[in-house]
Structure 1
Amino acid sequence: MIEYPFSAEVATADDMHELGVELGRTLRAGDLLVLTGPLGAGKTTLTRGIGEGLGVRGPVTSPTFVLARTHPNLTDGPPLVHVDAYRLSSAVELDDLDIDFAGSVVIVEWGRGMLEGIATSWLDIEIERPTGAGTVHADEGMDDDSTEDVVDETDEPRRIRIARHESPANA
């Protein structure tokens, strides 16, 4: 069982996925999670694991081009609503998506600062990916014909922090 606040180093993408499975098994309808981290940090990998832990129909993919994607549950549990708020500019636009927050588990990537007035509490999940970790330069073990840097992002360690957030009116 995960207790909050929670902080850990996650060594691989598989470990991030497994953390998501563990977290997903604890979530219930009405739970809201906000994921923050740079591109490639593992937000969608964590969400795939959460979907597996919840028992939803997949595959869970990034909703970048559709803004929100609903994954029905294959058992009697709640659906997973996966939101990419990167292109949204305000809480009003998030609210306009008409998401069933009470009847679903909702994950909002890039949603920090957009939930005041929409939700009373949520799990704030921040994933830090070290800058430059995993980079191999052309002169460090690559073929002579290649001049581009290669990043093996799947095996970079990440730092993940999970905290319960309460709106000031409810704190």
Structure 2
Amino acid sequence: MRRIGRRVAHIVHGGDVILLSGPLGAGKTTFAQGFGSGLGITAPIVSPTFTIARQLNGRFHDGTAAKLIHVDAYRLGSTAYLPGEDVNSRLLDELESLGLDEELEDPSEDSVVLMEWGEQMAVALASTRLVIAIDRPEALSVGRGDNSAQTDDELSSDGVRTVSITGVGSGWVTRVRRLTIEGAEKTDV
């Protein structure tokens, strides 16, 4: 996941919004760590679940200054909605209270937004985005030594992941194609 994150960091530009989706333990934060490394960020990248967003400084692949805004939207919109309530308006209100609405609607030329768990918000706010969907096996079957199998639901870094990368909006087709071609030639991703 780190290697894929580093490679994706090499195709992003200022103003890009990247959405990470996948179940708990899929590797979203591990991807974010590789992505940060690809931007030359040396500060630790941890899941911003409780802070919701962190800003880190690095450099884009072309050497220009980069500002990574790493958002974990898991807790946003987590309270129950009232019947008939406009979900998008409520999410916008939450983002506005955090100062993130403008970065998603109109990212600055030196920033890239990397959002975990933000499917609803990114669709509502960012018409152009890169969607990285990470899937993993639901549970691993492990032998207990008595020839029976039990399901191990513990999260771990082990296991195969399937990563789908989809560009939404103009400009992504060429960059995603370049990522795929370079990946096929250089790695076993």
Give the TM-score range, shorter chain: 0.7 to 0.9
The answer to whether the aligner puts 1:42 opposite 2:40 as a matched pair is no
Identify the structure with bigger relative contact order (alpha carbons < 8 Å, sequence gap 6+): 1
Distance 2:68 2:128 in 1: 17
Distance 1:27 1:46 in 2: 14
Structure 1's consecutive aligned runs of 4 or more residues displaced over 3 angstroms after TM superposition are: 147-152
Find the partner of 1:83 among 71, 74, 81: 71
3-state DSSP of counterpart to 1:153: coil
Find the partner of 1:160 among 153, 159, 163: 163
Distance 1:152 1:38 in 2: 10
The answer to whether the aligner puts 1:33 opposite 2:18 as a matched pair is yes
- Do the aligned partners of residues 22 and 116 (structure 1) sit closer, same or farther apart at CA in structure 2, a change above 3 Å counting? closer
* Aligned alpha-carbon RMSD (Å): 2.5
Q: Cα distance, 1:152 vs. partner?
A: 6.8
Looking at secondary structure, tell me which structure has more helix per residue: 2
Q: Cα distance, 1:148 vs. partner?
A: 10
- Do the aligned partners of residues 129 and 140 (structure 1) sit closer, same or farther apart at CA in structure 2, a change above 3 Å counting? farther
5+ unaligned residues in a row in structure 1: which ranges?
1-15, 142-146
Distance 1:117 1:148 in 2: 38
TM-score normalised to the size of structure 1? 0.74
5+ unaligned residues in a row in structure 2: which ranges?
78-90, 171-189
Q: Is the 8 A contact 1:91 1:115 kept in 2?
A: no
Q: Determine the structure 1 residue equivalent to 2:56.
A: 71
Q: Cα distance, 1:116 vs. partner?
A: 4.1
How many pairs align?
Answer: 145
